[in-house]
Structure formats: structure tokens, C-alpha cells
């Protein structure tokens, strides 16, 4: 008999006792509010002379900011966990609103703070960063100062912020409302968008085809509403850029991801030139499904039924063992997370879908959320989230401000951990069927990141260019999307999804512009690191940890140069990474010859 050594339910009581009714948490919110207020007041009272003597004051403001930010993040992490573990927890929803308000209020104070940083002359600024805390934080502080300098005055930016509530974010919320009112007809009844999306991976082609026909119809019926929403959202963004004097629509997303245009171009170019193996994969998949060519609705169709299951304990051991093949620190971290109840994995009703990792900075602990039912993809998800956990763990001794890595490197450690485990699963597979289905799973990720996300990027860049000239109607959006998909999938599909611009939430996210390429970057960046780890074998872990530690305090180009000795603006690195994806395809093609 296997004994259950690891709890499948996490421990949140160590943070605040009593869940969403916790009095301890209520007073935490209070103290976060106070920390923000005093930071705000201090910043408001600060009228820096352009002199090095301001250094101490600046350092103390930074510490106040840090303290307030820690409290807000601690609160945000707790509420995320509460909401995920029980979707019926109404009180948690109210707490979410309170945390959102705290973040907004901290953000306002920061805008003022950043403007004051921009007020220093370059000479004095450089002098200020010579030593101590300010030196340790020189990258992030300089980044804040430079971003502020590229923006409008404090009053103008505040006005934009205020107007964006209704004029920008409001359109993003309008999208959510439209989606929730969109129903997909199926048989006698109707399905929500989420339910219908799940059926697009049904084993029965008739089901997929029927759903997809209704799917296109449903988005098409409301296409004018969706196009209006997208046009206004994009129009607001473009007008803000114009006011700030920003020509290129990619300026902000590149800046957020701390990367150069040359890097992005090199990455897409290599991807564009390597479509052929993936087209071959899609053609082979079509053949395995008894089809001439695949259509959009066949992309997620399963090719086999072979699936081995693992209990939670087995899955946990498998992960710890295989992390151990790579390095001791990573294995020890995973073991500690399992032992100390950092993971919520129980398969029970009432939990939110999906998985995530979150970090409690005041306690220096992570929590991982998911629902584990024993499939190989559950094991991958668990490894993925533990990878995120290891990333924050590797940074544990750093100042909090040096731990805010951008979205494109956020997925590095998670993908890396996932690769270790999926490679091990492949080696471990007991039959050809099982191996094929695991391999297909892996290749599907490449297809998603090198084809689907590429289509999104091609569409979005073209759309924004057109939008500069005026409103873009639904018909044109459909055409743009179809062209983008045809290019990104190398013409491999028989039927595309022209209304993808309406059905994909990512185009409507107002928090982050261009919510697509950072994923592809993160995936390939991580594969490149993985390739090096395999070349170097044991002993690489130390280098890997050093890279993770630096991942939030330099640009991605500097990070790659310093730790991998590669130039991301050149093709070599990207070729090596894409090559790893192609090798999977080659193996798949050989196995299914
Ligand atoms: Zn992730």
C-alpha cells in the first residue's frame, strides 16, 4: 500500500487564520493602506534639489515603497488563493476589490515618485547610484526614471489614467460582457464559450466540425460589436502613444519586456524560416486522423487514447527524482514545497479551473494551485508551477524591487522545469502509443507557440497599422486574420478561423499590450538554456540559478550575454532553440512512418 506522504490541500493558515473572514487579514489590509498613505505623503512632500545629498531621502522612500508593495502583494496572493480554492467564496470577491483599490492607490503614488526621479540631471543621477541600496537597485530605478521621462507631465498622465477607466479599460470589460452573452448552439441547447472550446478537442470529428460551424456563426453574429470594441480599445492606446510622441506600436510592449526590436525580429525570422517541419507534422497528423488536410477544428484533436495515470504521490516523486537529475537545489525545493503544504492539488468540485503560482513576499513562501487528476498533463502543470516557484526561490535573498521579472522571462523557469519532466516521461513511456501521445503533446506546444502565437502577432501588428488610418471593419479584420493564420501555419490548414480576432481574449487585455510574443520568447529562451544544460550536464545548476537571480535586473540581451554568452539579436541562439522543437517533430515523423 502506498502511504499518502504529501497533503493535497495547501496551508493558508500560516499567513492569515480564518480564510476570507480572517480578522488578521482585515488588519493586514488596514496596515497596507497606512503604508501606502504614508508613502504617498512622503513622496508628495519631497521636492528634491538636483543634488547628491538627496541620496538618503531617496533610499528611505525606496524602502517605504518596498514595504508598501510587499504588503499589497502579500494581500493579493492571499486573495488569489482564497478565490481559486472556492469559487463560491463571495467574501473573497469583496476582498479582491479592496486589494485592487490598494494597488491602484500605490500606482498613483508611484507615478508621482517616478516623475521626481526624472527630475534629476544625468550627472547627479549617476552619482546617486554609486553605492549602497541605490547602487543595488540601479537598473530598476533608472528604468523607472527613463520611463517617466518618456511620458507626459504628471498632470497629463494622471488625466490619461483617469480617462482610461471608462475610455480604455471599460472596453476590455465590455469584451468580457459580450463573451458572457455569446452562446454557441449545440444539439437542442446552447453552450457557453468555454464549454464549446473544450469540445473542439473532442475525439469525434463530426462533433468538432458541428461545434466549429456554430462557433464561427456565433462570433460572426456579433462581429460588429466585437470590432467596435477592438477598434476603440486600440484607438485609445494609439492616441495615448501619439500624445507621448511614440511612433512604433511595439515600443511599449518591447519596453515592458526589456528587450530590443532586433531581438524580436531575429526570433520571428528564424521561426518564419522553419515552418516546414511543423507543416509536415500537421500533414502527418491529418493522415493519422484519416484526413487529406487538417482544419482549424482538428488542431486539438487527440491522435490516440494511450494515457498512463500517476497518483499524486507518484507524480510528486517523479518530479522530485527528475529535478534531482538536473540539480540538487531544484529537487530539494520541490520536496520542501510538497512537504510544507505549498500546493493545492485536490480534485474536488468548486475549485477554479487552471493552475497558477503565487508568492507571499512577507513570508518568503510560494503557493501553487491546480487540480490533479493523474494525467501526464497534470504532472507537467505541476512541474511548470514548481518551476515558477523555484524562480522566486532562487531570488529569495534579493531586494523585492530586483525580483520583478518581465513576462517574457517569467515563463523561463517554468518551461525549463516542464521540459525536464516531459523528457523524462518520454524516456519512461512503456508503449509506442504512449510515447506518441506524449510526443504529440510536446509538439502541440511548439505549434501553439510558433504558429498560433505567430498568427496573433502578425495580425496585431497589421491591425494596429491599419487602425492608425481609421476604423477597421469586421470584414477587413476577418481578412487580416485569415492572411495571418495562412502565413503562420505555412498554408497547412484547409479551413482557418477568421473570427479569431473576436474569440481570443488576448487582443482585448488592457493591462498589458501585445499579450502574445512574450510567451514565444519565454518558450524558446528556456529551450536554449535547456540545450546548454544538456550539453554541460551536472554542475549547470549553479549557472542556471545565477541567471534566474539576474532575470529582473537587466535587459534580456544583457542577461543572455552575461550568462549564456550569446547575442539574442543574432540568429544563432534562436536557431538552436527552434532546432530542439524540430527534433521532436523528426522523431514523431519517424515513429509514424
Ligand atoms: Zn507559467
Selection from 233, 215, 237, 236 nearest residue 225 by Cα: 233
Pairing of strands 183-186, 189-192: antiparallel
- Between the CA of 385 and the centroid of ligand 1 the distance, in Å, is 6
> From the CA of 556, how far away is ligand 1's center (Å)?
18
pLDDT for 339: 96
On average, the pLDDT of the chain sits at 93
Cα(298)–Cα(362) distance, rounded to whole angstroms? 47
- Residue located via cell numbers 471599460: 170
**CA 245–ligand 1 middle distance (angstroms):** 34
Q: Do 301 and 203 contact (CB within 8 A), yes or no? A: yes
Give 493's DSSP letter: B
More confident residue, 304 or 482: 482
Residue with cell 537587466: 554
Please give the pLDDT value at position 434: 87
Alpha carbon of 557 to ligand 1 centroid (Å): 21
> Each residue of 138-164: pLDDT tens digit?
999 999 999 999 999 888 988 898 898
Question: Cell digits for 564?
Answer: 549564456
Say what percent of the chain tops pLDDT 70: 99
Average pLDDT over residues 367-381: 90
Give the H/E segment covering residue 36: helix 23-45
CA 410–ligand 1 middle distance (angstroms): 7
Quick one: cell of 164? 482610461
111-149 b/e (C-beta count within 10 Å ≥ 16 → b)? ebbbbbbbebeeebbeebbeeebbebbbbbbebbbeebe
Q: How far is ligand 1, taken at its centre, from the CA of residue 46, in Å?
A: 39
CB-side exposure of 473: number of CA atoms within 13 Å?
Answer: 1
Residues within 5 A (CB) of ion ligand 1: 414
Mean pLDDT of 184-203: 86
Task: Give the Å distance between the CA of 134 and the centre of ligand 1.
Answer: 31
Question: What are the backbone angles phi and psi of residue 520, rounded to the nearest 5°?
Answer: -65, -40
Q: 375-385, pLDDT tens digit by residue?
A: 888 899 999 99
Q: Cβ–Cβ contacts within 10 Å for residue 25, how many? A: 22
Spacing, Cα 590 to ligand 1 middle (Å): 31
Q: How far does the centroid of ligand 1 lie from the alpha carbon of residue 494, in Å?
A: 32
Distance 584 CA to ligand 1 centre (A): 22
**415 alpha carbon to ligand 1 midpoint, in Å?**
7
Report CA(356)–ligand 1 centroid distance (Å).
7
For residue 369, give the 3-state DSSP assignment. strand
* Confidence at residue 304, expressed as pLDDT on a 0 to 100 scale: 76
Residue 276 CB neighbour total at 10 angstroms: 12
pLDDT in tens, 283-318: 999 999 999 999 999 999 988 766 678 899 999 999
- What the block records as the C-alpha cell of 60 is 528611505
pLDDT tens digit sequence for 63-87: 999 999 999 999 999 999 999 999 8
Q: Which of 539, 527, 506, 579 is nearest to 176 (CA)?
A: 506
Distance in angstroms (rounded) separating the CA atoms of residues 304 and 373: 19
- Name the pLDDT band for 1 (thresholds 50, 70, 90): very low
Give residue 71 CA to ligand 1 midpoint distance, Å: 23
Residue 453 C-alpha to ligand 1 middle, in angstroms? 16
d(C-alpha 485, C-alpha 220), whole Å: 18
- Ligand 1 centroid to 510 CA: how many Å? 20
Q: What is the pTM of this model?
A: 0.91
The reported pLDDT for the residue numbered 343 is 98
pLDDT at 196: 87
> Which residue, 475, 458, 565, 566, is CA-closest to 514?
458
Centre of ligand 1 from the C-alpha of residue 521, in Å: 13
Residue 3 has pLDDT above 80, yes or no: no
* pLDDT average, residue stretch 211-219: 95
How far does residue 306's CA lie from ligand 1's centre (Å)?
A: 26
Contact (CB, 8 A) for 449 and 489:
no
Mean pLDDT, residues 522-529 taken together: 94
Which residue has 494622471 as its cell numbers? Answer: 158
Beta bridge partners of residue 141, listed in sequence order:
none
Q: Would you state the pLDDT for residue 354?
A: 81
> Residue 281 Cα, ligand 1 centroid: separation in angstroms?
26
- Taking the centre of ligand 1 as the mean of its atom positions, its distance from the CA of residue 163, in whole angstroms, is 32
pLDDT at 306: 63
Mean pLDDT of 38-53: 94
- Extract long-range pairs of 326-331: CB within 8 Å, 24+ residues apart: 326/420, 326/533, 326/540, 326/541, 327/538, 327/540, 327/541, 327/542, 327/544, 328/541, 329/390, 329/394, 329/541, 329/545, 330/390, 330/417, 330/541
> How does DSSP classify residue 506?
G
The β-bridge relationship of strands 343-344 and 365-369 is: parallel
Q: How far is the CA of 384 from the centre of ligand 1 (A)?
A: 6
Q: What is the pLDDT of residues 397-412, one digit of tens each?
A: 999 999 999 999 999 9
267, pLDDT greater than 70 = yes
Give residue 485 CA to ligand 1 midpoint distance, Å. 25
> Which range, of 21-35, 115-129, 158-172, 296-310, averages the lowest pLDDT?
296-310
Nearest to 338 by CA among 5, 569, 12: 5
pLDDT at 56 over 80: yes
* Phi, psi (rounded to 5 degrees) for 279: -65, -40
C-alpha 296 to ligand 1 mean position (Å): 25
Spell out a b/e string for 530-551, using b for 16 or more CB atoms within 10 Å of the CB, else e: bbbbeeeeeebbeebbebbbbb
Q: Give Cα 549 to chain centroid, integer Å.
A: 19
Query: What's the CA-to-centroid distance between 519 and ligand 1, angstroms?
Result: 9
The answer to whether the beta carbons of residues 368 and 104 sit under 8 Å apart is: no
Residue pLDDT, tens place only, 533-570: 888 877 899 999 999 999 999 999 999 999 999 999 99
Ligand 1 centre and the CA of 218: distance in Å?
Answer: 31
Give the pLDDT band (50/70/90) at residue 197: confident
Give the other-Cβ count within 10 Å of 587's Cβ. Answer: 16
Q: Report pLDDT digits (tens) over 424-462.
A: 989 888 888 889 988 998 999 999 999 999 999 999 999
Q: ∠ at Cα 80 (74, 81), nearest 5°?
A: 95
412 CA distance to ligand 1 middle (Å): 8
381 CA distance to ligand 1 centroid (A)? 9
Share of the chain above pLDDT 90, in %: 79
| C-alpha 474 – ligand 1 centre gap (Å) | 33
Tell me how far the alpha carbon of residue 499 lies from the centroid of ligand 1, in angstroms.
27
Please tell me the distance between residue 388's alpha carbon and the centre of ligand 1 in angstroms. Answer: 7
CA of 178 to the centre of ligand 1 (A): 27
Residue 2 has pLDDT above 60, yes or no: no
Burial class (CB in 10 A: 0-12, 13-18, 19+), 204: exposed
Amino acid at each position: 500500500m502506498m502511504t499518502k506522504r504529501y497533503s493535497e490541500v495547501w496551508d493558508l493558515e500560516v499567513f492569515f487564520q480564518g480564510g476570507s473572514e480572517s480578522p488578521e487579514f482585515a488588519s493586514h489590509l488596514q496596515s497596507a493602506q497606512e503604508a501606502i498613505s504614508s508613502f504617498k505623503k512622503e513622496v508628495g512632500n519631497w521636492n528634491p534639489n538636483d543634488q547628491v545629498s538627496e541620496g538618503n531621502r531617496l533610499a528611505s522612500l525606496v524602502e517605504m515603497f518596498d514595504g508598501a508593495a510587499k504588503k499589497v502583494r502579500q494581500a493579493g496572493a492571499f486573495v488569489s488563493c482564497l478565490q481559486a480554492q472556492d469559487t463560491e467564496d463571495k467574501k473573497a470577491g469583496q476582498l479582491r476589490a479592496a486589494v485592487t483599490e490598494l494597488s491602484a492607490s500605490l500606482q498613483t503614488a508611484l507615478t508621482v515618485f517616478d516623475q521626481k526621479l526624472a527630475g534629476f540631471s544625468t550627472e547627479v543621477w549617476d552619482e546617486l547610484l554609486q553605492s549602497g541600496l541605490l547602487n543595488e537597485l540601479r537598473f530598476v530605478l533608472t528604468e523607472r526614471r527613463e520611463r517617466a521621462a518618456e511620458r507626459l507631465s504628471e498632470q497629463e498622465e494622471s488625466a490619461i489614467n483617469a480617462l482610461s477607466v471608462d475610455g480604455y479599460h471599460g472596453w476590455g470589460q465590455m469584451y468580457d460582457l459580450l463573451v458572457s452573452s455569446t452562446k454557441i448552439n449545440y444539439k437542442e441547447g446552447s453552450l457557453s464559450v468555454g464549454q464549446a472550446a473544450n469540445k473542439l478537442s473532442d475525439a469525434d470529428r463530426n462533433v468538432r466540425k458541428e461545434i466549429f460551424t456554430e462557433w464561427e456563426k456565433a462570433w460572426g453574429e456579433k462581429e460588429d460589436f466585437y470590432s467596435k470594441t477592438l477598434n476603440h480599445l486600440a484607438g485609445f492606446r494609439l492616441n495615448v502613444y501619439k500624445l507621448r510622441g511614440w511612433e512604433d506600436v511595439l515600443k511599449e510592449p518591447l519596453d515592458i519586456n526589456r528587450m530590443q526590436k532586433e531581438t524580436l525580429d531575429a526570433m520571428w525570422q528564424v521561426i518564419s524560416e522553419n515552418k516546414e517541419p511543423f507543416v509536415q507534422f500537421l500533414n502527418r497528423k491529418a493522415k493519422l486522423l484519416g484526413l487529406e488536410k487538417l482544419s482549424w477544428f482538428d488542431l486539438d484533436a487527440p491522435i490516440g487514447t494511450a494515457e498512463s495515470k500517476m497518483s499524486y504521490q507518484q507524480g510528486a516523486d517523479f518530479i522530485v527524482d527528475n529535478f534531482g537529475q538536473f540539480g540538487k537545489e531544484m529537487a530539494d525545493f520541490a520536496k520542501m514545497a510538497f512537504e510544507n503544504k505549498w500546493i493545492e492539488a485536490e480534485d474536488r468540485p468548486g475549485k477554479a479551473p487552471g493552475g497558477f503560482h503565487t508568492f507571499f513576499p512577507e513570508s518568503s513562501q510560494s503557493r501553487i494551485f491546480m487540480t490533479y487528476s493523474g494525467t501526464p498533463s497534470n504532472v507537467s502543470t505541476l512541474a511548470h508551477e514548481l518551476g515558477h516557484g523555484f524562480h522566486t526561490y532562487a531570488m529569495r535573498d534579493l531586494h523585492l524591487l530586483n525580483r520583478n521579472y518581465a513576462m517574457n522571462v517569467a515563463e523561463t523557469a517554468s518551461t525549463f522545469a516542464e521540459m525536464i519532466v516531459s523528457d523524462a516521461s518520454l524516456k519512461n513511456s512503456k508503449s509506442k502509443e504512449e510515447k506518441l501521445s506524449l510526443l504529440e503533446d510536446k509538439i502541440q506546444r511548439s505549434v501553439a507557440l510558433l504558429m498560433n502565437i505567430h498568427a496573433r502577432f502578425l495580425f496585431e501588428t497589421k491591425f494596429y497599422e491599419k487602425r492608425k488610418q481609421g476604423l477597421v471593419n469586421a470584414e477587413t479584420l476577418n481578412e487580416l486574420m485569415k492572411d495571418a493564420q495562412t502565413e503562420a501555419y505555412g498554408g497547412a490548414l484547409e479551413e482557418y478561423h477568421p473570427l479569431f480576432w473576436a474569440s481570443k481574449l488576448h487582443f482585448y487585455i488592457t493591462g498589458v499590450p501585445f499579450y502574445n510574443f512574450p510567451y514565444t520568447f519565454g518558450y524558446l529562451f528556456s529551450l536554449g538554456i535547456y540545450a546548454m544544460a544538456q550539453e554541460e550536464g551536472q554542475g549547470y545548476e549553479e549557472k542556471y540559478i545565477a541567471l534566474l537571480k539576474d532575470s529582473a535586473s537587466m535587459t534580456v540581451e544583457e542577461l543572455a550575454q552575461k550568462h549564456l554568452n550569446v547575442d539574442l539579436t543574432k540568429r544563432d541562439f534562436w536557431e538552436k532553440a527552434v532546432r530542439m522543437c524540430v527534433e521532436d517533430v523528426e522523431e514523431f515523423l519517424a515513429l509514424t512512418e
